[in-house]
Structure 1
Amino acid sequence: MNEREFNLVDEPWICVLRKDLQVDTLSLRDVFLHGQDYLDLGGENQPQNFAVLRLLIALAYTIFSRVDENGKAMDIAEITDPDEAADEILRRWGALWENGRFPQELVLQYLEQYHDCFWLFDPERPFGQAPGAVRGTQYGAAKLIGDISEGNNKIRIFSNRAGEEKNTLSYPEAARWLLFINAVDDASGKPKQKGLKSIGPGWVGKLGMIQSVGKNLFETILLNLTFLKDGEELWSKKANPNWEHLPKEGERTEIPVPDNLAELLTLQSRRLLLERENGRVIGYHLLGGDFFDNHGENGAFNEQMTIWKVDKKSESHYFVPQQITPGRQMWRDFGSYFVEEAEEAKHIPGIISWLRTLQEVNLLPTNDTISFRIIAFEYGGGSQNSIINDFSSDTLTLYPELLSEQEIGVQETIEQQIAKCDEAARAVNHLFYNIFLAEGGDPEKRSRKGEMLFYRAVDEPFRKWLLQFRGDLLKEPKQLENAYRDWEQQAKSIANQIGNAEEQRAGVAAFSGRILEDKKRNTREFYSVPRADMWFKLELAKIYPKEGDAK
């Protein structure tokens, strides 16, 4: 079966969320013509939405890096004066934002010109695939489905699908999962050619994924459209998305880090080829694809949609993408996302630096909030990363003013308050453990129950507190001090409430207490609820001292 089938420009395949929170399925063309009418992407899970979003950003970048909002041909990569290029980039982005939708005629012209590049099935250039992958590892459809990810030898005992819905896929769903697998595939695939290194996870799966979220899908695409790397540098190459050239066939190909946004966002971490039968996708073939060094200093800082960490295992202490722990609230890592401290080696996400640039040239309205979404992605199978183990997402909303470099002092103080929350969480957990010991619990059995209860309780209050940082509050030192003090009182009160509830729950034996001997340390300690409460209050007083107390 070699005939062309299912063109992504014309056929509905992208799930989008309507304003009434129902899901529609649109073609690529309709997403760009009507994105302003939809809230967000609405696919099967957020990692899949992230992969689809990267495609949409790449398409928008490709079109509007070559022509301005009026259709005038002017490739920004050909502007020789850097300042002139930056001015044109920001002017062009601002014009698109002000328009509130993508110019219909320009989108249609591009999609008509490259229409034949978007066939899901094509004998020579199937979209996002490589015919040569037919020699690769063969998988069933269940491995393609990202919320199952069932391999040939690893059957999911508990699955949310069965029968045909598990073993075959419609073309629209297969197209979405195709992007997902290319982006975040695990490392279970094996090279077919002798002498090649093992296949690592897909590039996007290695990231601490972060994106901006607009009021509608059009805004989301545009906010993440980083025309300037890190909000400052020009991309050195012209837009070169993968669909505009014939598929690569080479397995496990090391390449330089792409220096144009479209090529980076459409990186082929895998060589894939879908199998179809009777109008359904029944499986796929897989080989390792393109990869590059993930050290930031070696060019990987071109990736704009990740947080970074210093790799302390390496002698040179390179920056590498930092994956996020599933279930962890975004605000707890506020500093990693938003605070670039001069005295500390840090690198904040490129998307944040880009938005900071937009804010500083007054292209973002200060009276509207801006939201961010993170996606945590975790592989299992030990160091082999051979299965997708877990993923989660979280969002955070604040006012653009807080992103400004002028507010570095406020940003650092917020980061300090989060550090105090971490200390308070540990103090609550310590109280729970001491009460557990007083009740007769095994000292070797520890839990994070108290810590988790504290973070759950402060989550909503902290998010509301962050929304105060705007306008006059940022200009008045006294108001800022009051805001910090009010939060400390609230956080301390929450910790006390959780602690009091746990103390009241404890039984009579815990109040009487018991003595524990530590033979290794040759110590004896008495544990009881009253003593645990005393230690807890002392810890909280150190974290949140009363005004006038020594800190």
Structure 2
Amino acid sequence: MIEKDFNLITDSWLKVIDQQTGREKKVSLIELFKNAQNYRQLAGDMRVQDLAIIRLLLAILTTVYSRFDADGKPYEWLEKGTEQFLSDATIIKFYPKNRIKQTVVKTWQSLYQKGHFTEIVTKYLEHYADKFAFFGEHPFYQVTKAEYDELVPANKAVAKGTGTVSVKQINRRISESNNTPALFAPKAGEGKNQIAVDELARWIITYQSFTGVTDKTKIKADEKFSVSPGWLYKLNPVFAQGKTLFETLMLNLVLFSQEPARQRPVWEYASAKEYVSERQKNLLPNNIAELYTSWSRILHIEWDDTGEPTIFSAGLPKIVSDNAMIEPMTVWKYDKKTAAYRPAVRGLQSLSKAMWRNFGNYVNANKAHDNREPGIVVWLRLLKEKRAIPHDKLLTLASVDLIDDGNATSQSPVAEVTDDMSINADVLFDENDADYWPAQIEAVIEKTQTVGSNFWQFARDVGEIRGFKDNSLKEFANRLSAKFYYGLNQPFKDWLAGLTNHDERGEKVLLWEKQLKQHAFAEAKKVMDTSSSRDVKGVLTDKGLRNIFTINNYFKYRVNSEMKKE
């Protein structure tokens, strides 16, 4: 029989790595916020699960510290209302935004200097304890049977037994539907649907953020709507990664946006019905806490006597992401046709492309008017400008992404991709217009990718000599190109992390170009070392004989020519 008393505030369910011992342990929400400085990081079942939970934690912190300062005192710009923890407080009209910005940055800086979160977070959680109970009248991230039946069509009610999603599908390490078995899952047979409450809690949070669109059941609505994929699933996530969990949460704790709004996480709605009613308006949330805790599904769980759950699921309307600048954790792309910014979603074709190769997506290196920086980068820039973080702090931007299969009717996950790059704050936010570091870095990356293109052409030429054609030829060149870039990833990241604002730009650029040239020639030599008599004999073309030697010489010529360019 399943335990019917489990509260996320007081029961252990969050996996963390202890800073001192390096061991994994489970903690409650209260324990986590009291001791975040003692934990290295979250240690969930997947990195995307950790990201979904980080956003939940940030929703709590954003809500609390947008209402109370580091000493637990309410801000003067709030019209207090009647609720103890100011859930009904509104921002005084025409209150100066600059004063709000200065004050919340001061709150942030005070917390950062303290090195831990304050008691007001625990008090807030205790106040909303019933909303964090996994069972009961307000089951966390779920709805009751009565609420579910009221929100879905009559033929989809719980008693009908339809519209269910299995544990093995919610578990994103398996993602198995009842029709297509996952062959390489970490569990087998009936074990795929067996799960402990703490693990299920983590996966439900993850599933709300990374949902496909295979569900057939939708909530009742006056008009037809597209079912919502998980919000995080349709982003190209980027966030700041600290040395401890406390630092990671702090660096991503965005307390100011251009249009300050009352924070309203999903549990502060009076009921699930009220939240669903708000979602049916098809409006983008105007506050971070609500966006971070947004649902893609209403879920209801029925438990049998053996403790196995049956999960009923109904789709909610899709949140439109055009110009969703309230979202801090995504890379943007500009659509010239619609003049809208959209999240630059990654696909299967970009799996092997490292973050550094898209450096210009994370900082406006060329100061183009249509290049929108991620909100988290804008926030970090503000912290640096206000001296809330040291000017020479090494910042790590990280990305964790779940890639779907590209099928519009399923959007099933096929790969998890993680990456990061570290860069000095003074370099990332260089104020030197004449010798702007980000522009220098972007130019270096462009030259690197030109050499990479030359190597791809070299590989393709080799493939032609070896008799490859069409797709086989392209696959051969792509495979060698992927190895080329893989060998560059760590050296470039080391070069980037080693830059300072005191460096002579030209010297550092030449240092990288030397490494690049050595790597390019070394990779070409690997191909040469595996050449056959056919490669040596070559083929006769209208431009003369082409063999492994002439191709290699031409590749070296092109690389040397590229290195001579300013």
Same fold (TM over 0.5): yes
Deviates more, 1:482-491 or 1:432-441: 432-441
SS state at 1:383 partner: coil
Within a 5 Å distance, the mapping from 1:399-478 to structure 2 comes to 399-407=424-432, 409-442=436-469, 444-445=471-472, 446-447=474-475, 448-473=478-503
Count how many residue pairs are aligned between Structure 1 and Structure 2: 525
Contact 1:190 1:199 in 2 (8 A): no
**Aligned partner of 1:206 among 229, 234, 240:** 234
Contact 1:209 1:375 in 2 (8 A): yes
Contact 1:323 1:376 in 2 (8 A): no
Q: Distance in 1 between matches of 2:107 and 2:399?
A: 27
1:11 aligns with 2:11: yes
Within a 5 Å distance, the mapping from 1:469-488 to structure 2 comes to 469-473=499-503, 479-488=504-513
Q: Spell out, residue by residue over 1:24-53, the C-alpha distance to the aligned partner (whole angstroms, 9 max, x if none).
A: 111011110011100111101111111100
Contact 1:86 1:234 in 2 (8 A): no
1:84 aligns with 2:99: yes
Quote the offset at 1:187 in angstroms.
Answer: 1.0
**Partner AA of 2:113 in structure 1:** E
**Partner AA of 1:440 in structure 2:** G
Aligned to 2:132: 118
Q: Distance in 1 between matches of 2:539 and 2:7?
A: 72
Aligned to 1:304: 328
Contact 1:440 1:514 in 2 (8 A): no
**Aligned partner of 1:94 among 94, 103, 109:** 109
Contact 1:267 1:290 in 2 (8 A): no
CA gap 1:279/1:43 in 2 versus in 1, 3 angstroms: farther
Aligned to 1:217: 245
Aligned to 1:246: 270
CA gap 1:218/1:278 in 2 versus in 1, 3 angstroms: farther
Aligned to 1:527: 546
1:106 aligns with 2:87: no
Q: Distance in 2 between matches of 1:533 and 1:433?
A: 12
Q: Spell out, residue by residue over 1:60-80, the C-alpha distance to the aligned partner (whole angstroms, 9 max, x if none).
A: 111111111111122655362
Q: Distance in 2 between matches of 1:86 and 1:282?
A: 46
Aligned to 2:47: 46
Quote the offset at 1:82 in angstroms.
Answer: 1.6
Q: Distance in 2 between matches of 1:394 and 1:90?
A: 29
Contact 2:229 2:318 in 1 (8 A): no
Instruction: Give the alignment's TM-score, normalised by structure 2.
Output: 0.88
Aligned to 1:182: 208
1:282 aligns with 2:333: no
Instruction: Give the alignment's TM-score, normalised by structure 1.
Output: 0.90
Structure 1: which 5+ runs fail to align? 474-478, 517-522
Q: Distance in 2 between matches of 1:418 and 1:115?
A: 50
Identity %: 26
Aligned to 1:347: 372
Quote the offset at 1:130 in angstroms.
Answer: 2.2
**Partner AA of 1:13 in structure 2:** W
Contact 2:402 2:416 in 1 (8 A): yes
Contact 2:462 2:551 in 1 (8 A): yes
CA gap 1:323/1:244 in 2 versus in 1, 3 angstroms: same
Q: Spell out, residue by residue over 1:497-549, the C-alpha distance to the aligned partner (whole angstroms, 9 max, x if none).
A: 10112112101221111136xxxxxx67743112211221232123222xxxx
1:33 aligns with 2:34: yes
Q: Distance in 1 between matches of 2:428 and 2:271?
A: 40
CA gap 1:276/1:76 in 2 versus in 1, 3 angstroms: farther
Deviates more, 1:452-461 or 1:186-195: 186-195
Q: Spell out, residue by residue over 1:219-255, the C-alpha distance to the aligned partner (whole angstroms, 9 max, x if none).
A: 11111111122xxx242x2121111223434487243
Aligned to 1:494: 519
Within a 5 Å distance, the mapping from 1:237-276 to structure 2 comes to 237-249=261-273, 250=276, 253-276=280-303
CA gap 1:2/1:339 in 2 versus in 1, 3 angstroms: same
**Partner AA of 2:14 in structure 1:** I
Deviates more, 1:364-373 or 1:139-148: 364-373
